[in-house]
Amino acid sequence: MILYLARRILYAVPIALAVGFVCFMLVQIAPGDPINAIVPPDAPADVVEQVRRDYGLDKPLPVQFGLWLSKVVVGDLGRSLATGRPVWADLRSAIGNTLMLAICASGLGFVLGCILGGLAGTFRGSAIDRGATGLAVAGVSVPHYWLGMVMVVIFSVQLNWLPAMGAGPGGSSDWGWDWDHIRHLVLPTITLSVIPMGIVTRTVRGIVAEIMNQEFITALRGKGLTRLGIFRHVVKNAAPNALAVMGLQLGYLMGGSILVETVFSWPGTGLLLNSAIFQRDLPVLQGTILVLAMFFVALNLLVDLVQTALDPRIKRA
């Protein structure tokens, strides 16, 4: 176990480095001189040369990567072209908002998915199964940014129940646990939860159906165990896999919420990315992608470790 832990963590290091390299290359593949990602296009030529030397952009690519990496490691992601502020400062508050949205959405999706998938797996071939499977397919096929718009049309425009935009009253981006803030969370959460709902339903249905077919369930039934008792055994067997799927979904939502955040003007990393794309603000684009990708790498590692710890059947060395 310890050996596996050490090996798995060691294996994540080159992946993280390579992910960093891909993010570093984002500025290099951008059309035009990478120097334009640091100085505004109307800067005088001698300033441009000065900055080029300061940033080491006259050096070969591997050296540049090393320089960039040494800055990133201490949290220096450069400065935004549009605002001139450090990228990390803007990113920090945005990550909090995105994380909260992603946690709420994946939580809701997980609960719904487990209920639907559990029912579908238990009563295979029934009307419940067909309904749940249909919902799951719809959940993974729906363009969630469109679903967000439909929700806004129904609940904000037509019924006027819930706000359509922002994370708080008056466009505030600081979170507070009061009704005014929670109201803003409802629609984005439901919209974003559709994807994990679909995927978790499919996974749980498969796992439960497989477990119900196994002999120990027949044995338990023969022993005279109640339905609740059997249910406990099924949950114990299904939990590690279901939790692993759910953990990865949280990561996908962190990276994938950009479209939903755009629809609802949710002040998270997605909105930050969107404005960075719009203004061609490459340092912000690079920094945000890097942090989100690193989060995903870390989450992957965590899911692997937790799954190994939870599931006594997995023996890795």
Partner 1 sequence: MSTATTPTAAEAELAIQRKQAPVRSQGYWAGVFRRVRRDPVTIACAAILLLMLLAIVFAPLLAPHDPYQGSMIRRLRGIGTPNYPLGTDELGRDIVTRLLYGGRLSWFMGIVPVALAFVIGTTLGVTAGFVGGRVNMAIMRVTDVFYAFPSVLLAVAISGALGAGIFNAILSLTLVFVPQIIRVAESVTQGVRNLDFVEAARASGASGFTIVRVHVLGNVLGPIFVYATGLISVCMILSSGLSFLGLGTKPPEPEWGLMLNTLRTAIYVQPWVAVLPGACIFVTSICFNLLSDGLRQAMDVKG
State the Cα–Cα distance between residues 152 and 291, nearest whole angstrom.
30
- Shortest distance in whole angstroms from residue 191 CB to partner 1: 12
State the Cα–Cα distance between residues 169 and 314, nearest whole angstrom.
48
Query: Please, which residues have CB within 8 angstroms of residue 78's CB and are 6 or more apart in sequence?
Result: 38, 71, 86, 87, 283, 286, 287
- Determine, following the binding rule CB under 8 A, whether residue 143 of this chain makes contact with partner 1: yes
Q: Bridge-partner residues for 79, per DSSP?
A: 86
State the Cα–Cα distance between residues 143 and 44, nearest whole angstrom.
45
Q: Bridge-partner residues for 86, per DSSP?
A: 79
User: How many amino acids of this chain bind partner 1 (CB under 8 A)?
Assistant: 52
Rg over alpha carbons for the chain, rounded to the nearest Å, is 24
Amino acid in the structure at residue 35? I
State the Cα–Cα distance between residues 292 and 71, nearest whole angstrom.
17
Interface residue with partner 1 among 113, 293, 303, 304 (CB under 8 A) is: 293
State the Cα–Cα distance between residues 267 and 276, nearest whole angstrom.
13
Q: Which is nearer to partner 1, 230 or 293 (CB)?
A: 293
- Shortest distance in whole angstroms from residue 311 CB to partner 1: 20
Q: Which is nearer to partner 1, 142 or 220 (CB)?
A: 142
State the Cα–Cα distance between residues 195 and 252, nearest whole angstrom.
10
Q: Which is nearer to partner 1, 143 or 222 (CB)?
A: 143
- Determine, following the binding rule CB under 8 A, whether residue 137 of this chain makes contact with partner 1: yes
State the Cα–Cα distance between residues 262 and 1, nearest whole angstrom.
43
- Determine, following the binding rule CB under 8 A, whether residue 254 of this chain makes contact with partner 1: yes
Q: What angle do CA 98, 140, 164 make, to 5 degrees?
A: 45
Q: Which is nearer to partner 1, 63 or 157 (CB)?
A: 157
Interface residue with partner 1 among 157, 219, 309, 314 (CB under 8 A) is: 157
- Determine, following the binding rule CB under 8 A, whether residue 153 of this chain makes contact with partner 1: yes
- Shortest distance in whole angstroms from residue 226 CB to partner 1: 35
* Residue window 47-86: x/- pattern of binding to partner 1, with contact defined by CB under 8 A: ----------------------------------------
- Determine, following the binding rule CB under 8 A, whether residue 263 of this chain makes contact with partner 1: yes
Check residue 79 and report its DSSP letter.
B
* Residue window 267-286: x/- pattern of binding to partner 1, with contact defined by CB under 8 A: ------xx-xxx-x-x--xx
- Shortest distance in whole angstroms from residue 3 CB to partner 1: 21
- Determine, following the binding rule CB under 8 A, whether residue 18 of this chain makes contact with partner 1: yes
Interface residue with partner 1 among 35, 140, 212, 220 (CB under 8 A) is: 140
Interface residue with partner 1 among 4, 5, 26, 182 (CB under 8 A) is: 26
Run of H or E including 264: helix 258-264
Q: Using CB atoms within 10 A of its CB, is residue 74 exposed (0-12), middle (13-18) or buried (19+)?
A: exposed
Token representation of residue 240: 């590690």
State the Cα–Cα distance between residues 195 and 129, nearest whole angstrom.
18
- Determine, following the binding rule CB under 8 A, whether residue 101 of this chain makes contact with partner 1: no
Check residue 37 and report its DSSP letter.
G
- Determine, following the binding rule CB under 8 A, whether residue 145 of this chain makes contact with partner 1: yes
- Determine, following the binding rule CB under 8 A, whether residue 135 of this chain makes contact with partner 1: no
Give the interface with partner 1 as residue ranges (CB under 8 A): 14-16, 18-19, 22-23, 26-27, 29-31, 137-138, 140-147, 149-150, 152-153, 157-158, 251-252, 254-256, 258-259, 262-263, 273-274, 276-278, 280, 282, 285-286, 289, 292-293, 296-297, 300
